């Protein structure tokens, strides 16, 4: 029997296709297995870290991780990566969660003395778990186990005689020796923390007077620490409506409340990490799109300096921008603007607007025409955003600035030590209406003049009137005593103090030479 002819070439036909398909499938399965292993390792690491942090079991830690992921609307893997990364970007371990009380960051599961765990059951209790008829037969045993597992107990107090009865678990909750007998309800205020004395007195009075049931939480001191107790009580009245007894249920909820606080603190930490990450991404995007010069920019007939200050609040990074471009035969194109909104959406919109205007500027069209085109571009954004912009052309031969504005603050002119605001031509917010009209203004400049272009983040604050900010800017600009762009920016920003907490700030100082 002959054999098929073979060569060193790659096999062709159905056999080759089947081989390629098998290889692709195996690669995909291998990559999926790697992803599964990585995910599993990250989750297991997070479970262990959370269990150690909250001093609870691994299963309880995983439950808390799932709650954090659910409440933050992210996957458990993302929650684990954010909360329990081996190292932060600075090389330091993420800080443990903090909560408002002294118990912040403590056990989500009960600490020692909260509730016995299944791992410390007696032999009789283990036989109950195994289904021993001797243990399961008695309702009293079941009731006692329910009290132990829920860390709760019940009691009865008769106001007329002072007689009291507590179940076994109440003694454990209060840390009281059974030999001492139950604590009468009218002496409950003696064991609570001072801050809870008025509340406890009111609860007891309500029950003794037979007015209505109560359900509240109080704090007691036990074994040198504060314990949180839930008190549920109801008065028992006779036929005449007079109270003859008070039934109470006490439950130690210390472990649960600590867990809630720790979970809340972890949730806040997770949200803050997400905000920090979004801000970092927005700033990185801004820096890649809008590089800031480290020194004065020299253009035909002028020198310019720029300052950009991100918003003081982490989540408020916005879309401020500027442009200074020398265009052959067209002088120098100057622009500044601000996109509404914050975060990555605003940064992306800023890139589209700035790049669009910069490209349109090379057509040689006048500033009012450029803003009309930019308005149409803004109206066609997928999301409903608006923007402000100021665009101008500077002719270095005649020292003339031709400019237009769309809802933006006009430039500030500093000449001979006096600062004035240029009269703005007609123009409205970009993205507001389709048929917006824009006017144009022409300003004659002199050697030594200085123009200041700025966004609203410089002068606008929530805690003061806008006119106050404008007056401060005019006053500072008039007393700078220099037309050096860097010096002017330093003095102005120093006068306004810390960055605007709610908005970015962009300022451009332009010296006419």
Q: What is the pLDDT of residues 370-400, one digit of tens each?
A: 999 999 988 887 667 899 999 999 999 999 9
Residue that terminates a domain, selected from 196, 224, 252: 252
| Residue at 296 is within a domain | yes
pLDDT value, residue 85: 55
Taken in order 126, 129, 134, 137, is the CA torsion positive or negative? positive
Residues 175 and 310 in one domain: no
pLDDT at 266: 84
Residue 152 corresponds to which tokens in the numbers above?
């709760």
More confident residue, 170 or 12: 170
Residues 6+ apart with CB under 8 A from 105: 53, 54, 96, 97, 98, 99, 262, 265
pLDDT band at 326 (very low <50, low <70, confident <90, very high): confident
pLDDT above 90 (res 490): yes
Please name every residue paired with 419 in a beta bridge, in sequence order, or none if there are none: 414
Do 308 and 236 lie in one domain? The reply is no
Whether residue 93 is predicted with pLDDT greater than 70 in this model: the reply is: no
Q: How far apart are CA 309 and CA 444, in angstroms?
A: 30
Q: Residues 244, 336: one domain?
A: no
Cβ neighbours for 344, distance < 8 A, ≥ 6 positions apart: 278, 281, 282, 285
- Whether the pLDDT of residue 152 is over 70: the answer is yes
Tokens of 145: 């186990």
- Using alpha carbons, select from 145, 128, 144, 146 the residue that is nearest to residue 136: 128
Q: Which CATH number covers residue 336?
A: 3.60.40.10
pLDDT value of position 10: 45
Exposed/middle/buried for residue 404 (C-beta within 10 Å: 0-12, 13-18, 19+) = buried
230 & 366 share domain: no
Kindly state whether residue 177 falls inside one of the protein's structural domains.
yes
One domain, residues 244 and 307? no
Residue 100 lies in a domain: no
pLDDT computed for residue 89 by the predictor: 38
Domain containing 403 equals: 290-512
Q: Considering the domain boundaries, does residue 131 fall inside one?
A: no
Instruction: Choose between 192 and 272: higher pLDDT.
Output: 192
| Angstrom distance (rounded) from CA 18 to CA 20 | 5
DSSP single-letter state for residue 119:
G
In the chain, the number of structural domains is: 2
Q: How many angstroms separate the CA atoms of 286 and 343, rounded?
A: 10
The per-residue b/e assignment along 20-58, b for 16 or more CB within 10 angstroms, e otherwise, is eeeeeeeeeeeeeeeeeeeeeebbeebbebbbebbbbbe
Model confidence at 336: pLDDT above 60:
yes
Angle subtended at Cα 54 by Cα 53 and Cα 59, rounded to the nearest 5 degrees = 110
> Are 408 and 338 spatial neighbours (Cβ–Cβ below 8 Å)?
yes
Provide the edge-to-edge strand list for the sheet that holds 243-252: 164-166, 152-157, 243-252, 225-237, 214-222
Are 361 and 436 members of one domain? yes
241 and 330, same domain (yes or no): no
In a domain, 70, yes or no: no
Which comes out higher in pLDDT, residue 111 or 173?
Answer: 173
Please report the pLDDT score of residue 497 as a whole number: 85
Give residue 260's pLDDT.
85
Beta strand 243-252 with 214-222: parallel, antiparallel or unpaired?
unpaired
Do 237 and 314 reside in the same domain of the chain? Answer: no
The radius of gyration of the chain's CA atoms, rounded to the nearest angstrom, is 37
Tokens representing 235? 């008065």
For 425-463, give one letter per residue: b (16+ CB within 10 A) or e.
bebbbbbeeeebebebbebebeeebbbbbbbbbbbbbee
* pLDDT value for 133: 40
Range from 49-53, 117-121, 445-449, 487-491 carrying the lowest mean pLDDT: 117-121
H-assigned helices in 304-443: 344-361, 367-379
| CA–CA distance, 183 with 48 (Å, rounded to integer) | 41
Structure tokens given for 504: 């970015």
| Tokens found for residue 2 | 């002959």
- Can you tell me the mean pLDDT for 30-55? 73
On whether residue 94 sits in a domain, the answer given is no
228 shares its domain with 333: no
Is 201 within the bounds of a domain?
A: yes
Residues 249 and 113: their CA atoms lie apart, in Å, by 19
Can you say how many angstroms the Cα of residue 209 is from the centroid of all Cα atoms in its chain? 49
Exposure of 380 by Cβ count < 10 A (0-12 exposed, 13-18 middle, 19+ buried)?
Answer: exposed
Last residue of a domain, one of 252, 280, 299: 252
Give the C-alpha separation, 419 to 426, whole Å: 22
CATH number for the domain that contains residue 177: 3.30.450.20
Same domain, 385 and 443: yes
DSSP H or E run through 363: none
| 124 or 350, which is more confident | 350
- Give the mean pLDDT of 407-413: 96
Domain identity same for 371 and 465: yes
**In a domain? residue 355:** yes
- Same domain, residue pair 467 and 329: yes
Per-residue CA distances from 319 to 84, 200, 278, 356, 370 (Å): 32, 55, 14, 15, 19
Residue 137 has pLDDT above 80, yes or no: no
The pTM assigned to this predicted structure is 0.51
Give pLDDT tens digits for 279-292: 677 667 666 666 67
């Amino acid at each position: 029997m002959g054999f098929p002819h073979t060569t060193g070439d790659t096999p062709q036909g159905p056999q080759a296709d089947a081989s390629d398909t098998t290889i692709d499938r195996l690669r995909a399965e291998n990559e999926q297995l790697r992803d599964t292993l990585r995910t599993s390792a990250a989750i297991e690491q997070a479970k262990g870290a959370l269990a150690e942090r909250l001093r609870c079991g691994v299963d309880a830690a995983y439950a808390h991780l799932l709650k954090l992921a659910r409440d933050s609307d992210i996957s458990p893997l993302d929650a684990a990566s954010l909360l329990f990364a081996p190292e932060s970007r600075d090389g330091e371990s993420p800080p443990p969660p903090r909560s408002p009380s002294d118990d912040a960051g403590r056990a989500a599961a009960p600490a020692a003395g909260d509730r016995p765990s299944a791992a410390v059951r007696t032999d009789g209790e283990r036989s109950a778990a195994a289904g021993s008829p001797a243990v399961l037969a008695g309702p009293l045993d079941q009731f006692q186990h329910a009290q132990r597992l829920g860390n709760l107990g019940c009691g009865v107090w008769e106001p007329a005689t002072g007689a009291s009865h507590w179940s076994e678990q109440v003694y454990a909750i209060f840390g009281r020796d059974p030999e001492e007998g139950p604590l009468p309800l009218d002496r409950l205020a003696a064991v609570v923390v001072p801050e809870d004395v008025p509340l406890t007195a009111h609860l007891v009075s309500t029950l003794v007077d037979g007015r209505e049931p109560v359900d509240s939480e109080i704090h007691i001191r036990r074994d040198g620490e504060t314990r949180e107790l839930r008190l549920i009580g109801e008065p028992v009245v006779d036929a005449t409506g007079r109270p003859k007894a008070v039934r109470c249920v006490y439950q130690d909820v210390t472990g649960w409340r600590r867990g809630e606080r720790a979970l809340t603190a972890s949730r806040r930490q997770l949200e803050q990490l997400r905000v920090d990450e979004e801000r970092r991404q927005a700033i990185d995007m801004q820096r890649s799109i809008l590089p800031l010069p480290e020194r004065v920019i020299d253009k035909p007939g002028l020198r310019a300096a720029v300052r950009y200050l991100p918003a003081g609040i982490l989540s408020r990074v916005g879309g401020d921008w500027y442009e200074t471009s020398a265009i052959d035969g067209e002088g120098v194109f100057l622009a500044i603007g601000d996109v509404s909104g914050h975060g990555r959406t605003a940064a992306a919109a800023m890139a589209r607007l700035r790049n669009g205007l910069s490209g349109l500027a090379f057509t040689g069209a006048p500033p009012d025409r450029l803003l009309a085109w930019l308005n149409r571009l803004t109206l066609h954004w997928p999301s409903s955003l608006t923007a402000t912009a100021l665009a101008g052309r500077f002719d270095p031969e005649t020292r003339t600035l031709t400019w237009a504005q769309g809802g933006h603050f006009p430039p500030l002119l500093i000449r001979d030590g006096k600062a004035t605001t240029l009269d703005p031509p007609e123009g409205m917010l970009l993205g507001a209406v389709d048929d917006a009209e824009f006017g144009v203004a022409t300003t004659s400049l002199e050697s030594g003049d200085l123009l200041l272009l700025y966004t609203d983040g410089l002068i606008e604050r929530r805690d003061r009137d806008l006119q106050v900010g404008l007056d401060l800017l005019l006053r500072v600009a008039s007393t700078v005593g220099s037309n050096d762009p860097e010096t002017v920016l330093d003095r102005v920003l120093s006068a306004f103090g810390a960055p605007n907490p709610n908005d970015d700030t962009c300022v451009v100082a332009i010296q006419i030479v």
